[in-house]
Amino acid sequence: MAADQEAEQEQSVRRVLVVAAHPDDMDFVAAGTIATWTDAGLQVSYCIVTDGDAGGSDLNVPRSAIGVIRRDEQRKAAAALGVTDVEFLGYPDGQLMVSIELRRDLTRVIRRTRPDRVLIPSPHRNLRNVHVSHPDHQAAGEAALCAIYPDARNPFAHPELRTEEGLDAHIVPEVWVMGAHDQADRYVDITDTFDRKIAALRAHTSQTGHMTTLEKRLRDWGARQAQAAGLPAGRLAEGYLVLDTR
């Protein structure tokens, strides 16, 4: 996309919805971008499908406590990026599937927040990078795409959302796919927000507290993304595959 078209498109975006399978997912791949958007005055909302209750590495922490811990960590991470609207759907971590119930619940969030842009996990398995191919990520990405098209825009899909909850149909103009690094066609320079990305990730103490090389790993990854974007040396970026879903 030409730079002037990109700038015009950005000016039309006011509300963004981020869909993730687990707490911390968006912070690893999109926190710098999200901070850039909130700094620019965009309203960003989170919808996190599970509580991440299968995560963590401390065997002494009861499983029943993990979901509460991770919800709190995610809210703190969101606050570091300027996000206050954080919703959890409460599906079991590690068991996510594309179901009509999940499609309905995501449709509800889309119709409530009425975003101009939705960020989603990639619905595809990356055979070269197992870490971005968690089955929950794929299920959340596919269910989100189904909710975006055709569900959210179709007033006759999940009719109870309209008749009982007053949520009218909504068309999402564009989707940004997170984690689609080998297919990225849009990049955001996050050099100036990288420190907040790290702060957001450090808020997930149960997940990142043991990671002594976290900042270096993410700085190296951001530098590779910036190189792919054609940015000058020393810059950092996050990349996305952008879909026109009007």
* Assigned domain for 3 exists: no
Separation of alpha carbons 39 and 57, rounded Å: 34
* Assigned domain for 48 exists: yes
pTM (2 d.p.) = 0.94
Cβ(190)–Cβ(222) below 8 Å:
yes
In this prediction, residue 58 carries a pLDDT of 74
Q: Residue range 152-158: average pLDDT?
A: 98
User: Is pLDDT of 59 > 80?
Assistant: no
Edge-to-edge strands, sheet with 237-244: 85-91, 43-50, 15-20, 117-121, 174-178, 237-244, 186-189
* Assigned domain for 6 exists: no
Percentage with pLDDT > 70 across the chain: 96
Q: Residue range 89-114: average pLDDT?
A: 97
Report which secondary-structure segment, H or E, holds 53.
Answer: none
Separation of alpha carbons 132 and 151, rounded Å: 26
Task: Give the residue with greater pLDDT, 76 vs 11.
Answer: 76
* Assigned domain for 7 exists: no
* Assigned domain for 27 exists: yes
* Assigned domain for 5 exists: no
> How does residue 2 score in pLDDT terms, banded at 50, 70 and 90?
low
User: Is pLDDT of 9 > 80?
Assistant: no
Separation of alpha carbons 12 and 132, rounded Å: 30
pLDDT in tens, 159-199: 999 999 999 999 999 999 998 878 899 999 999 999 999 99
Residues 6+ positions from 88 with CB-CB distance below 8 Å = 48, 49, 50, 51, 71, 74
* Assigned domain for 217 exists: yes
In this prediction, residue 133 carries a pLDDT of 82
* Domains: count for the chain: 1
- By CB atoms closer than 10 A (0-12, 13-18, 19+), residue 63 is exposed
pLDDT in tens, 190-219: 999 999 999 999 999 999 988 899 999 999
Residues 6+ positions from 145 with CB-CB distance below 8 Å = 120, 123, 175
> For the chain, what is the mean pLDDT?
93
Separation of alpha carbons 57 and 132, rounded Å: 19
CA angle 176, 181, 187 (to 5 degrees): 55
Q: Residue 29: which CATH number? A: 3.40.50.10320
User: Where in the sequence is the domain holding 50, given as residue range(s)?
Assistant: 14-244
* Assigned domain for 4 exists: no
pLDDT in tens, 24-46: 999 999 999 999 999 999 999 99
The verdict on whether omega for the bond into residue 150 sits within 30 degrees of 0, i.e. cis, is: yes
Report which secondary-structure segment, H or E, holds 16.
Answer: strand 15-20
